Amino acid sequence: MKKIFILTGEPSGDKLASTVISKLKQNNSDIEYSCVGGAYLNSLGIKSIYDLKEITYIGFTSVLLNIFKIKKKINETVNKIIEFKPDILFSVDSPDFTLRVAEKVKKIDPNIKTIHYVAPQVWVWREGRVKKFKKFLDHILLLFNFEKKYFDKENINNTFVGHPLLEKSIKSKTDLSNLIPKDKKIISIFAGSRSSETSILLPILIDFIKLMTDKFNDYLFVFHATEENKNYINDNIKLSNLDNIQVISDENVKSQILSNSVFAVSKSGTVSLEICNAKIPSIIIYKMNFLNFMIVKFLVKVQYANIINIINNKEVIPELIQNECNSKKIFKSVVYFLKNPALMDKQINDFTNTLDEIRSKTSSADEASSVLSSYLIS
């Protein structure tokens, strides 16, 4: 029996990995799996060797403060993978964790095929990393076609598979009438999947909702949570005494809530593609501690945080980053859009054109699972 070890470093990677493995399971039932993952991979019957929360850190200072824990976890993970003896180590995103593990695994057992899904953003910073990847990666799966040139240059096997969040999936309809009052318009809120993100953004977002509530009474604010952080969000909302907030973690319900929203406020990240794909206007927010921000500002070579803005080299979707990420600025920006429907229509038109340019013609999960299958056969 062939074996695959799936290595993720945060909930978004767990979600991406599950789309590929779900497809692979349909076509190859005779595979044994183990993983570092979360709720999504667990729903496929694949148990994680430890809780994903143990390695989910964000920002340079958080990593530095936990450096010994992280190193210990990397070594523990490497040992577990070697013990499992997989044919393939399938790592997904979170390169500062997953690729460090992959490099060590490859040194110990060169026979293990290393395939990485979601190329590190070398077009944003540290382009020189590509040369190093060649030493321990057998194949890299790209979400965007413009990334190919960076890996072709170093003769690294790569395949453009497209982004799964840009695919239209058929999901069963859920009756939302018990969740959403008919007289309310929905504003979707995405506060992040990592607790370190949510802890910074949640107080700001709750203050924003208070400002909205003082001015309007016809909006319902729905937090799109993960199984891991929904209780934390709920606990904080209870303290706010606001009764116009819902917290949803069910994926099918979240998808339908989003598609029925009039607007979205989202932390910077891949979720913004999901929002754009649903044709919902939005703004992007993000905040980190001052030292992390200064380090990022020094290292990053692009002007924008959002992929849509980076591709267009202009602000299609407004970004409120760091000092601008405060409740008053978010309130002002959201209200400005809500009062200008033509502006929302223009944003939708602009990002839809961009998505059409970067969308894969096939399924990302199909393409990625096909690459994995080819390595199982060879």
Of 145, 139, 118, 141, which is closest to residue 361 (Cα–Cα)? 145
Q: How confident is the model at residue 60 (pLDDT cuts 50, 70, 90)?
A: very low
Tens-digit pLDDT profile for residues 147-185: 898 899 889 999 999 887 787 655 556 667 777 788 899
Inside any domain, residue 230 = yes
| Residues linked to residue 219 through DSSP beta bridges, in sequence order | 185
Q: Is the pLDDT of residue 74 over 50?
A: yes
* Buried/exposed code over 27-56 (b: 16+ C-beta within 10 A; e: otherwise): eeeebebbbbbbbbbbebebebbeebeebb
**Which residues contact residue 143 at a Cβ distance below 8 angstroms, ignoring those fewer than 6 apart?**
118, 119, 161, 162, 163, 364
- Cα–Cα distance between 358 and 163 in angstroms, integer? 9
Q: Are residues 191 and 276 in the same domain?
A: yes
Q: Is pLDDT larger for residue 140 or for residue 144?
A: 140
Inside any domain, residue 22 = yes
pLDDT value for 262:
97
Chain position carrying tokens 């980076």: 310
Q: Is pLDDT larger for residue 195 or for residue 275?
A: 275
pLDDT value for 264:
98
- Interhelix angle 195-215/230-240, rounded to 10 degrees, is 30
Mean pLDDT for the chain overall: 88
Inside any domain, residue 273 = yes
The pTM score is: 0.72
For every residue of the chain, which 3-state class applies, written as one string? CEEEEEEECCHHHHHHHHHHHHHHHHHCCCEEEEEECCHHHHCCCCCECCCHHHHCCCCHHHHHHCHHHHHHHHHHHHHHHHHHCCCEEEEECCHHHHHHHHHHHHHHCCCCEEEEECCCCCCCCCCCHHHHHCCCCCEEEECCHHHHHHHHCCCCCEEECCCHHHCCCCCCCCCCCCCCCCCCEEEEEECCCCHHHHHHHHHHHHHHHHHHHHHCCCEEEEEECCCCCHHHHHHHHHHHCCCCEEEECCHHHHHHHHHCEEEEEEECCCHHHHHHHCCCCEEEEECCCHHHHHHHHHHCCCCCCCHHHHHHCCCCCCEEEHHHCCHHHHHHHHHHHHCCHHHHHHHHHHHHHHHHHHCCCCCHHHHHHHHHHHHHHC
Q: Is pLDDT larger for residue 243 or for residue 59?
A: 243
Tens-digit pLDDT profile for residues 207-218: 999 999 999 999
User: What is the mean predicted confidence (pLDDT) over 190-199?
Assistant: 86
Q: Are residues 157 and 12 in the same domain?
A: yes
Chain position carrying tokens 């059409």: 356
- Cα–Cα distance between 89 and 347 in angstroms, integer? 40
Q: Are residues 217 and 315 in the same domain?
A: yes
**Domain containing 337: what range?**
185-358
Inside any domain, residue 224 = yes
Q: Are residues 99 and 246 in the same domain?
A: no
Of 213, 212, 237, 241, which is closest to residue 223 (Cα–Cα)? 237
Q: Is the pLDDT of residue 57 over 60?
A: no
What domain count does the chain have? 2
Q: Are residues 369 and 345 in the same domain?
A: no
Q: Are residues 298 and 336 in the same domain?
A: yes
pLDDT value for 58:
44
Q: Are residues 207 and 329 in the same domain?
A: yes
First to last CA, the chain: 14
Q: Are residues 340 and 368 in the same domain?
A: no
Q: Are residues 345 and 289 in the same domain?
A: yes
Q: What is the CATH number of the domain that holds 148?
A: 3.40.50.2000
Q: Is the pLDDT of residue 16 over 80?
A: yes
Tens-digit pLDDT profile for residues 303-336: 777 889 988 889 999 999 988 999 999 999 999 9
245 phi/psi in degrees, rounded to 5 = -125, 135
Q: Are residues 202 and 342 in the same domain?
A: yes
Q: Are residues 37 and 76 in the same domain?
A: yes
Query: In this structure, are residues 262 and 186 in contact, taking their beta carbons and an 8 Å threshold?
Result: yes
Q: Is pLDDT larger for residue 218 or for residue 362?
A: 218
Inside any domain, residue 180 = no
Q: Are residues 334 and 368 in the same domain?
A: no
4 phi/psi in degrees, rounded to 5 = -130, 130
| Structural tokens at position 256 | 């339908």
Tens-digit pLDDT profile for residues 96-133: 899 999 999 999 999 999 999 998 875 544 556 788 89
pLDDT value for 70:
79
Inside any domain, residue 167 = no
Tens-digit pLDDT profile for residues 80-96: 999 999 999 999 998 88
Q: Is the pLDDT of residue 301 over 60?
A: no
Inside any domain, residue 175 = no
Inside any domain, residue 172 = no
88 phi/psi in degrees, rounded to 5 = -130, 135
